[in-house]
Every structure is written in C-alpha cells, then in structure tokens.
Amino acid sequence: MTALQLDKQDARRVAIRAQRLDEVQPSTLVHLVSRLTFLQLDPTAAVAPSADLIAWSRLGGGYRSADLKQALEVDRTLWEHKAQDELTSPAIAMVRPMSDLRLHLAEMAEGVRYRDAREWIEANESFRLDVLARLRDVGPLLSRDIADTSAVPWVSTGWTHNQNVTRMLEFLIARGEVATSGRIGRQRTFDLAERVYPAGTEAVPLEDARRMRDERRLIALGIARAATVGDAGVPVRIEGSDREWRMAPDALAELNASPFVGRTALLSPFDRLIHDRIRSQEVFDFEYLLEMYKPADKRRWGYFALPILHDDRLVGKLDAAVDRKAGLLTVNAIHEDVPFTRAMTDDVRAEVTRLADWLGVTVTG
C-alpha cells in the first residue's frame, strides 16, 4: 500500500485528537480509559499522581481521584493489569477498561512467557498453592499478609531480589489466577481472579487479540511508529521524517470532517502524547525528558515539569510543585520553547489557576 503523505500540522492534530486533548472532551472516566486503552499509575505526586493528571487534563475539574477508586474497586468497570511485556518493569502499574479483559485472557492462559519465571514457579508449586489457598480463605489481602513459603527464593539484580510473595502474586496475575482487587493507600490488595473479573468473559483467540490490541493502541495514539503497532492502520509519511509511520484508518477523514479546535492543557510527564520521545521530536519539534532522577544542578526544566500543550503545538514546560500542608502550588518557572504571545501567556496562566482550583490550593511564585 502506498503511504499517505502528511504534513506535520495534520499529524499533530491527529495525535492530539486521538488522545482527547482537543476541545471535545470525554464525558466519563471509563469512556476516557477505553479510548486511551490504559492509564499508567505512578506513585510520584510532586503535583498530583500521573493517572489523576491525565484524567484531569481531559475531563476537567469535575474529575476526582475517588472516581478512579470507584471504577476499580466498586463498579469494576476498570481493572489493574500488566501485559506480559510490562512484567519486566515492576514499578509500572496499568489501569485498563474491563471491556478489554477479553483481549488479555488468551495471553494469561498461555502462562508467563519468561523462562526464568516459569522455572521459578515450577520450583515453587507448593508455594503457589499456599498463596491461592490463603486468598481463597481470607482474601482480599495485602502481600504482607501472605506467608512466604517459597522453596527457592526469587533471584534478581534489582530491587525485587528475594521479594518472593510479590513476585509470585505478579506471575499469578499474569497467568490469570490472581487479580489486583483494590488499594489501601498505595499498597495493592490481591484476590482470586474469579472474584474480581466478570464471570463468563470469553477470551479472544491470541493472535486476534494481539492484532486488536495493536489496532486499539494506534487509535489511541492516532499516529505511531510502525515498530510500536505492527501492521495496524495505514502507512503514512510525515513531512520531514524518514521513518515508517502508521495512522489509524479513519483519523484523517475524521479530522477533515470536523475542524480541529485546540486548547491549552498541562500534561503529566507520563502522558502518552509525549511518551515517545522520537515522535515528540519529529512530529511536534518538542524535546522533553523527565528529570526527577537527575541531580538538581543538572536539570533544565525541573523535577516534575509538566509539558504545555497550546492549540496544536507543545510550547513549553511548567516547573511547579504542590505543598499540600501549606495549601500552595508553587510555580518555579514556565519554560517557553517558543516565544509566548500575550494570549498564550494568559491561557497558560488560566490553566495553572484551574489546576490549583482542582487541587484545592493557591498559586504562588
């Protein structure tokens, strides 16, 4: 198939609309997560937890973090789950729409694909059965409430070394035997999957499920590098880039049918609009790196700088932090990647004020 030719402005607008960051905002949290395919949970909360920032930037001030807890733990319209390729990053936690459970069940049924994990589980069969029995009798439970009866410890060069209960729970979640039931503070509770997932959900065959997940991921991104979405969508060439790109099949037609109307938004550093640094640089001409792990004197933009979207451009970064005890949102700097007009400055300041109002704090700095 001959690749479509796309200028950068249209490419940006397709991506922004796909992420629900244009003027037309989603109506509910569940609709939003279904569109985005997941929210990444991250404990860093220099301003607010990432999942909450992502939801607020789309849903506005009516969103509350309690909405996420309600959907996960009461309504069960969302669920917390790592796909197989996310298991190697223990810190990552993903919230997905429960309607996508069917796209993961076949992968769960195949078991953990990593040989070291499979061999470790086999060596700890009695431990696995102990964990399941404990959850069946008492669950849901925190990991610390489950005894470590492992015969062979989990060996790792990272922080998961000898974290036997946690590792077993993660692998049992990947196998579909256990599920994250909820959270107490930042700590997860675990239960048998059959008590968390809707009964009667039918698995989509594995290859079909993988194809559908690629397609859904591309719809959520609008435009993505071919390496990240397989054969989903249609091939496109973007002005100024030599890479192979894929675009959601109906994205350009939708853009032409309904004129793009942008807005100003403050984004989480983990926002999928800017997550792919190559796409950010080649499509948005935007350079960004989360600097929380850098020494303070090496940071260019700040510990937890929020990318600033204005209309169809990424125009800068907001270096700010919240002191909840003092009730303050302190703005340390607004870094302008392009010279701000008076209208841009007013829009960014208004968005900072909306952020503070949502957080229930006062802006200073």
Give CA–CA dist 237/222, Å, rounded.
14
At residue 168, the pLDDT reads 95
Q: Which of 5, 18, 8 is nearest to 255 (CA)?
A: 18
Q: What is the pLDDT of residue 91?
A: 62
Bond prior to 307 in cis (omega within 30° of 0): no
Phi, psi of 84 (to 5 degrees): -55, -40
Contact of 255 with 17, CB cutoff 8 Å: yes
pLDDT reported for residue 114: 86
Mean per-residue pLDDT pooled into runs of 10, the chain (365 residues):
88 97 92 96 88 96 95 97 72 89 95 89 97 96 96 81 88 95 93 96 96 96 93 94 93 88 96 96 96 93 97 98 96 97 97 97 94
Q: Where are the domains of the chain?
A: 20-195, 222-364
CA distance 67 to 318: 26
pTM higher than 0.85? yes
DSSP state of 127: H
The three-point CA angle 167-217-64 to 5° equals: 75
Report the 10 Å Cβ neighbour count for 78.
Answer: 25
Q: Which pLDDT score, from 0 to 100, does residue 85 have?
A: 72
> Distance (Å, rounded) from C-alpha 304 to C-alpha 274?
14
Report the pLDDT value the prediction gives residue 159, as an integer from 0 to 100. 67
pLDDT for position 112: 87
| Pair of tokens at residue 222 | 């609008």
Instruction: Enter the tokens of residue 349.
Output: 């300041």
What's the sign of the alpha-carbon dihedral 309, 310, 314, 319?
negative
Say what the pLDDT of residue 24 is.
84
The matching CATH number, chosen from 3.40.630, 3.30.1370, 3.30.1380, 1.20.144, for 222-364 is 3.40.630
Kindly state the tokens that stand for 168: 């077993």
pLDDT at site 90: 61
What is the model's pLDDT at position 87? Answer: 65
